[in-house]
Chains A and B, each alone.
Chain A
Amino acid sequence: MVQGTSPIPTAARETLSSHPVATLASLAALLLLLMLGAALVGAYPITLGDFMAALGRQLTGEVTKEKIDTILFDIRLPRVFAAVVVGAAIAAAGAAYQTLFRNPLVSPDILGVSTGAGLGAVLGIFLSLPVAAIQLSAFVVGLATVGLVYGIASLVHGREPILVLVLAGVVVGSLAGAAISLLKILADPYDQLPAIVFWLLGSLSAIRKGEVWAAVPLVLIGLFPLVLLRWRINVLSLGDEEAKALGVEAGRLRLFVIAAATLITASVVAISGVIGWVGLVIPHIARMAVGPSFDRLLPTATLLGASYMLIVDTLARTMARTEVPIGILTAMIGAPFFLWLLARGREGWS
């Protein structure tokens, strides 16, 4: 399960990643273009001219009662930003986890944060709490689940701290999954059960401005230490012994990274519902582009995740007359694309 892999980029990758700044700049430009495009499509027709006019009104502080302003600034743009934040956050957390665990099969759910958040939300729905309280409950229980996993793992003194951590995550995660199933059985089949099912499939359809603004600072608080510690995290990918030899205390650094990535994931999952797949695949794609070095991987994965999520969410709200759950789309678009990449990729992981 746990393999040490070499972080040294191959010659082929060297050419791709020799201009990391250029890569990042083009990814950022792509994201901005996608955001503009996403702002212009939707159930309510808005042209580029309408958009500019509305933007102008907003910037000059003109107070209008126009429907287009409500659609744009209260519904569509918050949703576009939400997709960007959620995608960026989950991909960043995924990149951090994969580097930390030195394993490409790891996703941000490995320590149970998504399942825990799911349990928190399901509990909130079961108790008929208001929407904000459901989200808070998801956030808190998501954090608490990872806290529990870390606590259990640190009580076990073994030679394989990562293995113990992952095992504890699997065990606690399936326990939370069982609790979700129990609540589903007990829930009101007419009101609560559909709400639970929809929440667990993930969706940004009900996202509000306030929710995005609440999630952004939390995501930034989590991203900040990852950026600061990027070099050390790189060293961590060599293995505990080597890291120690290089003067990095693996155990404490690991705690920091887990705490940061968990905070990032929990704050977005709380507003979006469980969204799988992005955290697993986007870091891979980023690694294929810029190599495994975490200092490059993190910004690349973040930008790619934001773009991917934005595309998926835009499809989710425009494909049909009603919403398509994001959780279904991320997998249905992501899986074939990933297999294609896998088939044409000639290199090993790392």
Chain B
Amino acid sequence: MKIQSLHEALATSQCSSGLIRGLRHAAVATAVLLLAMATAKARTVTDSASRKVDVPDRVERVFAAGPPASILLYVLAPQVMTGWPDPPTVEERSLIAEKYRDLPALGRLTGRGGTANLEVVLKTKPDLILDFGAIRETYVSLADNVQEQTKIPYVLIDGRFEATPAALRLLGDVLGASERGEQLAKYVEATFAQIDAVLAATLIDKRPRVYLARGPDGLETGVVGSINTEIIERAGGRNVADAVGQKGLVRASMEQVIVADPEIIITWDRNFFDRIFRDPLWVGIRAVREHRVYLAPTAPFGWIDRPPSVNRVIGLRWLAGLFYPDKFPEELREITRTYYHLFYHVDLTEPQLDTLIAWSKGQAPSRQQPARR
């Protein structure tokens, strides 16, 4: 229809006199503009915040607003990424597909410590800005503001762990990669279903009591309901930090940890993990006595958090296996191989797999000093 109008405009202008030449130019310009808009505003999608966003038919360049979004995007369609929020460290780089590990670091657009420069964002000419995380008023208004300011469509996707399959499908649709989205969503749903089957037969009281240790002294944790620890419940554990009325990250005291006496401790902090078995205050705790302290791998992305994104799917399966060893007999090695191939576009070599599996059993590779920013 728009093309027809262009022809009409041209036809009309051809039989016009010199006096109307100016008008003709204007008409052509309008027609071209309409044509451009026709390709740019091909579809309207509804994002997780019920915002109606017009996205172009073909989305070729996407700016991810933060680390969770960048991982969702990398998993689904790495070829459209304009960059990473933070430069991957040496350790992370080796497990990111070669084509994408050198993408520029463009900064974070949302949340605390936003570091992205809007002009830099625009310079990468994105067709779309993607954010993945909590749907809160703050982020919704931020999305509206950035969209209005930059005229680039801004899509918000719900980042709750439970909603991961929906997120993969939605982004698949937005990017015109529905099949890939469906394939990944099915994988996640299968993992969820496998765990749910085990949990259906396990009373709440029988589920292990878990403490997630963060920070250099292991005394930071996330309370029940926080995005940082939701993987514990999803994998069938009970978080011992269940402070009423508090949300997110908190500090615990040693005494509280001793009183809670968790059966399992999980952490990704290698310094803390190295120390916990020798520390006189920690050795009395049940999880340490029974050697049920587990270190989560963090390359290329964290297995249980950091950031809270699709990367938690492998950690979920790993944790479920640790919580219920007899219920999940499959080899973690093969699961890891498949997952990294399917989600991260890398075919792990045998030594790489050895390293990851040893890491998930508490033998982390010696830390390569990353070149920070």
A binds B: yes
Q: Interface on A for B, CB 8 Å cutoff?
A: 42-44, 67, 70-71, 74-76, 79, 125, 128, 130-131, 134, 184-187, 189-191, 193-195, 198, 203, 205-206, 208, 317, 320-323, 325
Q: Does B241 contact A (CB under 8 A)?
A: yes
List 9 A-B pairs, minimum CB-CB distance, nearest first: A190-B306, A321-B243, A205-B253, A322-B250, A323-B251, A43-B259, A322-B243, A206-B217, A43-B256
**Minimum Cβ distance to chain A for residue B120 (Å):** 15
Q: Which A residues lie within 8 Å of B215 (CB)?
A: 191, 194-195, 198
Q: A131-B216, A206-B219 are in contact. Are A76 and B112 (CB under 8 A)?
A: no
B284–A322 contact, CB under 8 A? no
A43: which B residues are within 8 A, CB to CB? 253, 255-256, 258-259
B253 partner, pick from A125, A185, A323, beta carbons under 8 A:
A323
Interface residues of B in 274-306 (CB under 8 A from A): 280-281, 284, 302, 305-306
Query: Interface digits, B217-257 against A, CB 8 Å rule (1 contact, 0 not)?
Result: 10111010000000000000000011111100111111110
Q: Are B252 and A205 in contact (CB under 8 A)?
A: yes
Does B252 lie within 8 Å of A323, measured CB to CB? yes
The CA of A187 and the CA of B216, in the complex, are separated in Å by 14
Collect the chain B residues with CB atoms within 8 Å of residue A206's CB: 217, 219, 253-254
Determine whether the beta carbon of B258 is less than 8 Å from that of A71.
yes
Knowing A198-B220, A321-B242 touch, does A190 contact B305 (C-beta < 8 A)?
A: yes
A189 vs B108: C-alpha distance when bound (angstroms): 10
Tell me whether A320 and B220 are in contact (CB under 8 A): no
B113/A185 in contact, CB under 8 A: yes
Bound together, the chains give a CA A130 to CA B253 distance in angstroms of: 18
Give chain B residues whose Cβ lies under 8 Å from the Cβ of A130. Answer: 216, 271
**B281–A322 CB distance below 8 A:** no
**Tally of chain B residues near chain A (CB < 8 A):** 41
Name the B residues within 8 Å of A74 (CB-CB): 280-281
What is the CA–CA distance of A187 and B241 in the complex, to the nearest angstrom? Answer: 26
A131 & B217 in contact (Cβ 8 Å cutoff):
yes
Known contacts A43-B259, A203-B251: A320-B246 contact under CB 8 Å:
yes
24 contacts between A and B (CB under 8 A): A44-B259, A70-B281, A74-B280, A75-B253, A75-B254, A75-B281, A125-B216, A128-B216, A134-B216, A185-B113, A185-B115, A189-B108, A190-B305, A191-B269, A195-B216, A198-B251, A205-B252, A205-B253, A206-B217, A206-B219, A206-B253, A206-B254, A208-B281, A322-B221
A205 cross-chain contacts in B, Cβ below 8 A: 219, 251-254
User: From B245, which residue of chain A is reached at the shortest CB distance?
Assistant: A320
